[in-house]
Amino acid sequence: MATKASRTAARLMLAPAVILLLGWMMVPLTMTVIFSFKRYLPMRGGDLGWVGFENYVRFVNSSAFWPAVQSTLMIVGGVLLITVVLGVLLAILLDQPMWGQGIVRILVIAPFFVMPTVSALVWKNMFMDPVNGLFAHLWRFFGATPVSWLSEASMPSIILIVSWQWLPFATLILLTAIQSLDSEQLEAAEMDGASPLSRFIYITLPHLARAITIVVLIQTIFLLAIFAEIFVTTQGAFGTRTLTYLIFQRVLESQNVGLGSAGGVYAIILANILALFLMRIVGKNLDR
């Protein structure tokens, strides 16, 4: 691609894809921003004109806003903690040579293929149902009173469901990272007198640092937007209303597009703050 002609051809051929992608991103974003400055009530009069920052002020001042931010961060943080810790341990386990390795690995990845709506329904009805759920049976077997998971322990339940979905992803990325660890390094550490735990702390974990930051970054982006799991389980009740869910309620349940759009812009800002913060950490790790 050195000549002028080939460069022009390259630009021409890239153009449709770039324009399409840009449009895909820019049109909804622009519309969200435009709506956020309007009083727009589809069932109650439609477009009622510009209102400046009124929607933004109302969204933040609503009593639901800060709890929503808090529960969003709790879900993201909780899921990240569980998936990374268990992911590292599982990856180490799966890295051990064993019989039926291929099948076991596919089974471990399987939850990732289940649609969020389906997995949340399965968890809700099969495991967490206070009367017929497997957990309820287990509790009764030991003579305990069954827990109404989704109302009494709603936040841990949702974190559990989402972690179950994302653990395979973390495990997979961390497993490939572990496999790239030079075995001579571990042997050298063994000769140097490092115990298995020291070898994990001083050799394996630093080697995984980069993969862990990538897992954290990618998962954060997706976890900020989880919706189906909440929709089919608690419907945002019992303190599980995340920012995404709050926006959904403002737009569809309250039929207030303007207010919801303002929330959408806040969500973009929150995601960007988090992304910036994470990129700093990743950048530090990638420098090496």
Partner 1 sequence: MGRIVLDQVTKSFGDVTVIPPLDLTIEDGEFAVFVGPSGCGKSTLLRLIAGLEDVTSGAIRIDGQDATDIVPAKRGLAMVFQSYALYPHMSVRKNIAFPLRMAGMDRAEQDRRVDLAASVLNLTDYLERRPGQLSGGQRQRVAIGRAIVREPAAFLFDEPLSNLDAALRMGMRLEISELHKRLETTMIYVTHDQVEAMTMADKIVVLRAGHIEQVGSPLDLYRAPRNLFVAGFIGSPKMNLIAGAEAAKHDAHTIGVRPEHITVSATDGEWSGVVAVSEHLGSDTFFHVHDTGLADTITVRADGEVGFRHGDRIHMTPRADVIHRFDEQGLRIA
Q: What is the contact mask toward partner 1 in residues 184 to 203, using x (rule: CB under 8 A)?
A: xx-xxxxxxxxx--x---xx
Contact between 178 and partner 1 per CB under 8 A: no
The residue among 271, 265, 272, 267 whose CA lies nearest residue 36 is 265
Judge residue 53's burial from the number of C-beta atoms within 10 Å of its C-beta, 0-12 exposed, 13-18 middle, 19 or more buried.
Answer: exposed
Q: How far is the CB of 162 from partner 1 (least distance, A)?
A: 31
Alpha helices in the chain (DSSP H): 4-36, 54-61, 65-95, 101-109, 116-122, 134-141, 149-152, 154-179, 183-191, 196-199, 205-223, 228-232, 243-248, 257-286
The answer to whether residue 86 forms part of the interface with partner 1 (CB under 8 A) is no
209 near partner 1, judged by CB under 8 A? yes
Minimum distance from residue 32 beta carbon to partner 1 (Å): 43
**Largest CA-CA distance found in the chain, in angstroms, rounded:** 79
Measured from the CB of residue 114, what is the shortest distance to partner 1 in angstroms? 36
Question: Shortest distance, CB of residue 177 to partner 1, whole angstroms?
Answer: 13
DSSP-derived letter for residue 110 is: G
Q: Are 219 and 159 in contact (CB under 8 A)?
A: no
Question: For partner 1, which is the closer residue by CB, 46 or 206?
Answer: 206
Nearest to partner 1 of 72, 204 (CB atom):
204
Helix (H, G, I), strand (E, B) or coil at 129: coil
Least separation in angstroms between CB 199 and partner 1 = 10
**136/150 Cα distance (integer angstroms):** 12
CB of 94 to partner 1, least distance (A): 23
Q: Which stretch binds partner 1 (CB under 8 A): 15-23, 120-128, 177-185, 243-251?
A: 177-185
DSSP string, 138-160: HHHHTTPPPP-HHHHSHHHHHHH
Report the residue number, 6 or 198, with the smaller CB distance to partner 1: 198
**One of 19, 24, 27, 182 touching partner 1 (CB under 8 A):** 182
Q: Which residues bind partner 1 (CB under 8 A)?
A: 182, 184-185, 187-195, 198, 202-203, 206-207, 209, 288
